[in-house]
Homo-oligomer: A and B are copies of this chain.
Amino acid sequence: MAEKIRVLQFGLGPIGQACVRTLSEKSGVELVGSVDIDPAKVGKHLGEVAGLKKKLGIAVRADAQQALQELRPQIVVHTTSSFLSVVENQLILCLRAGASVVSSTEELFYPFERDSGFCERVDAVARQHGVAVVGTGVNPGFAMDVLPLCLTSMCVRIKKIRVTRVVDAGLRRLPLQKKVGAGISRAEFRERLAQGTFGHIGLRESALAIMATLGWKLDEMSESIKPVMAARPIKTKFLTIKAGSVAGLHQKIRCTSGGREVLTLELKMHAGAKEAYDGVEIDGDPPLSMRIDGGIFGDTATIAALVNTIPKIKNAKPGLRTMMELSMPYAFL
């Protein structure tokens, strides 16, 4: 029997709480601690905060540095924010404490284009302490990047890749429904879009990861985000969306290389999506057409992506890593 991996959960929002529930069931994992800044959670039993019946014998702590130093986790599962600028100091604390990190930070899935300074700093600290850090999840992290890339391994030549993900946001957690604009007006949608903080984070990262991994020189990348309107009222577990309001969004990225479109990523996330699926079409030799009916259910798959990456980041080469560099993904049961 291999020794259990000592894991600390950093961030106890809905995703972090679900990670704790899953981690508490894994025989190969010893949960050693948890950190969150929410005063309503600090000091409470982790089991309670995570909605478990057992307490787990772990208190939620506010001071990450102190917790990391005292509890000496080998791995931190990090779920606090989508943005590099927010997580940099958190990641560096973990790495300095000798812990490798699996993070849900969308921008971390492929961070090189967005912030090379961040990458250099985080990579240097990780190498210095002999540990590794990676960003993963279902999207970015699998459905629109890792999975299509895996499928390309069956092709000797590729002209074009088209990846489509249609998500019925009405079946997902409330923060996701809000994130895609469910229930707002077309005018509000435009306003949020103009503020530049709207839309799914990570589609750009998926596109950049595919282009770079296949060695395709990126000439141009264009991105569009449009609202999907509710034709009739839609009722979700959390919201009622009036007819004529926004049901969600339709986001699209096109990449050209050598004067032609080689990659299209299309993401539709809206309440009332009749036909949710994940699709990959490769125009290549041989051609390939893959479809996952119903799509990969994101709320659970995100947890799986994080937890299943624990053994892989533990054995990874020190530094800032990507999923494309780790050994191939599979379940850690």
What is the interface of chain A, defined by CB distance below 8 A to chain B? 22, 25, 138, 142, 146-147, 149-158, 213-216, 285-286, 288-294, 296-297, 300-301, 303-305, 307-309, 323-331, 333
Contact = CB atoms under 8 A, between A and B. Distances in A.
Given A289-B294, A290-B290, A154 B305 contact: yes
Contacts of A158: 331, 333
Contact of A305 (B153, B215, B327): B153
Q: 7 closest pairs, A vs B, by CB?
A: A153-B329, A286-B297, A152-B331, A149-B330, A328-B328, A154-B301, A286-B300
Given A153-B142, A156-B300, A329-B150, A290 B288 contact: no
Copies assembled: 2
Nearest to A284: B331
Given A292-B289, A292-B290, A304-B154, A329 B330 contact: no
A308 B142 contact: no
Residue among A147, A155, A305 having the largest count of chain B Cβ atoms under 10 Å: A155
A186 B301 CA distance: 47
24 contacts: A138-B154, A146-B328, A147-B150, A150-B150, A150-B329, A150-B330, A152-B308, A153-B309, A154-B305, A155-B300, A156-B304, A156-B307, A214-B330, A214-B331, A286-B301, A288-B292, A289-B292, A289-B294, A290-B290, A290-B291, A324-B327, A326-B328, A327-B327, A328-B328
A152 B296 CA distance: 11
A309 B289 CA distance: 22
Contacts of A291: 290-293
Contact of A328 (B215, B288, B323): B323
Contacts of A307: 156
A153 B300 CA distance: 11
B289 A153 contact: no
Nearest to A213: B330
Contact of A326 (B216, B289, B305, B327): B327
A309 B156 CA distance: 11
Contacts of A288: 292, 296
A215 B333 contact: yes
Contacts of A309: 153
- Which among A158, A293, A330 has the highest number of chain B CB atoms within 10 Å? A330
Contacts of A286: 296-297, 300-301, 304
Nearest to A300: B286
A228 to B, nearest CB: 23
A77 to B, nearest CB: 13
A153 B327 contact: no
Contacts of A303: 156
B155 A304 contact: yes
Contacts of A146: 150, 328
A150 B292 CA distance: 13
Contacts of A328: 146, 149-150, 323-324, 326-329
A323 B147 CA distance: 16
Nearest to A324: B328
A52 to B, nearest CB: 15
